[in-house]
Amino acid sequence: MGQKVSKTEIEKLVSQAKKGDVNAFSKLYDYFADNIYRYVFFRVDSVEDAQDLTETVFLKSWENLYQYKSGGNNSFSSWIFRIAHNLVIDYYKLNKQIESLTEDY
């Protein structure tokens, strides 16, 4: 989030990305990637896992962009951070299962 971008500009980029504009999505990535990474890193406390999860956040957001609905109280920022939050929860569930399996042996 190096530069300040208005909500209107973000929504314009989202609209373009929904139409398949990779450059628009790249700009969204440039704007949100650092903050998504920080959000994830402070929850998983692993550089490698935070990098992987951040990459997955953007992959999932690209794949599911058609589901994003703007307007009202919805914002792309909230939507993409919800994806990050859900992936962190999945990360802990998976690690808990792996830990449980390794304790059994």
List pLDDT tens digits, range 4-39: 888 899 999 999 999 999 999 999 999 999 999 999
Please list, residue by residue across 56-87, b when 16 or more beta carbons sit within 10 angstroms of its beta carbon and e when fewer do. Answer: bbbeebeeebeebeeeeeebbbebbbebbeeb
Identify the residue with better confidence: 72 or 102: 72
Q: Is residue 2 part of a domain?
A: no
Domain count, the chain: 1
Report the CATH number at residue 66.
1.10.1740.10
Decide if 20 is inside a domain. Answer: yes
Q: How far apart are CA 8 and CA 96, in angstroms?
A: 41
Q: Is residue 33 assigned to a domain? A: yes
- Does residue 56 fall inside a structural domain? yes
With respect to residue 44, please indicate whether it lies within any of the assigned structural domains. yes
Domain that holds residue 37: 7-104
Instruction: Write down the residue that tokens 């956040």 correspond to.
Output: 57
